[in-house]
A = this chain, B = another copy of it.
Amino acid sequence: MIKNSEPTIHDIARVLSISASTVSRALNDNSRISLKTRDKIKALALEMGYRPNSLASNLRNKKSKTIGIVVPLINRYFFSSVISGVEDVAFKSGFTVVISQSSDLAQKEIEIVHSMFANRVDGLIISIAMEPNTSDHLKLLRKKHIPLVFFDRVVPEIETDKIVVDDFDGAFRITQHLIDQGYRRIAHLAGPQNLTSYIDRKNGYLEALKKNEITFDPSLIVSIRLTSEEGTQAVKQLMNLPQPPDAFFCGNDTTALSAMIYLRDQGRRIPEDFGIVGFSNEPFSKVVTPSITTIVQPGFEIGQKAAELLIGRIEEREQSFKTIILPIELIVRESSNRRKN
């Protein structure tokens, strides 16, 4: 017969002929227990291989020391970097990280949030799904006073902590850079316009055009889901315009890559004939030929910041809600650098 059960504080108490309360206090370094007893208890706990059952303690304390993170896709570099940053901070603070992916599906996101709630996460970090959605499930969390931190893709009308990058500025600088390189008909592969970050990027683009007195041609903006298939499709369509563009500001690196491959296969020269820029600095964008100009979004740091904010909120250190706008960095690479400056 296998004895599978773990020692509990009661077992320790029994061996030492003391009460479980004393053991509990001793292990938590409560000063009400004499140092001598504390040492004795700790020694025995070690010897018996005692490990506190966090389920029990969490139940009693009405907290789980767990934070949830929900991302659209786990295996996208940006998101996995964020997760990595969250894990880094959480682990150091003694929090467990539970993870789930919405696959950009509204329904799955709702289920995840409900399930995390039922599991009593102490707080939640989320970047919302692309698919349009009500945010009742998130408002529910707010109502239950479960701290919530948005990153990257936020819900504007929910008042809570948010960590975003300066999409407007990034898009503005990208566009300005293309203009500086002498490109004039700049197309924009925009993301779904229900997400603020894509709206901001579009606005940054428009603002840069305006500032440089370039007339805006609506046919140069295509709003897509930013997959490589849709990216290729969009570029094809744009190239068939009576006046095709001479540069592509793509909503992410994936579409920038597909644009590049499509144009290259058509025998077009990049950056001489066409400029291409992406967004997010996926690892591949640096190593493809030509390398892709892009915007760095510091995923790991975003994750760290999000976790710090959330944990601060959980431990009730923070006061009012913050929106942290991290600065972005423009990395000029070959795909748009035709003046070699």
Contacts and interface: CB of A to CB of B under 8 A. Distances in A.
A99 interface: yes
B51 A55 contact: no
A262 interface: no
A53 B64 CA distance: 11
Nearest to A64: B55
A257 interface: yes
A299 B75 contact: yes
Interface in A31-71: 51-56, 58-59, 64, 66
Interface residues of A, number: 51
Interface of A: 2, 4, 6, 51-56, 58-59, 64, 66, 73-77, 80-81, 83-84, 87-88, 91, 96-101, 112, 114-120, 144-145, 257, 261, 282-284, 287-289, 299-300
Contacts of A144: 4, 6
Most buried by B among A74, A81, A116, A261: A74
28 contacts: A4-B145, A6-B144, A51-B114, A51-B117, A51-B118, A53-B59, A54-B119, A55-B55, A55-B59, A55-B64, A74-B80, A75-B80, A75-B83, A75-B299, A76-B80, A77-B77, A80-B80, A80-B83, A83-B99, A84-B101, A87-B101, A88-B101, A91-B112, A91-B115, A96-B115, A99-B99, A284-B284, A288-B289
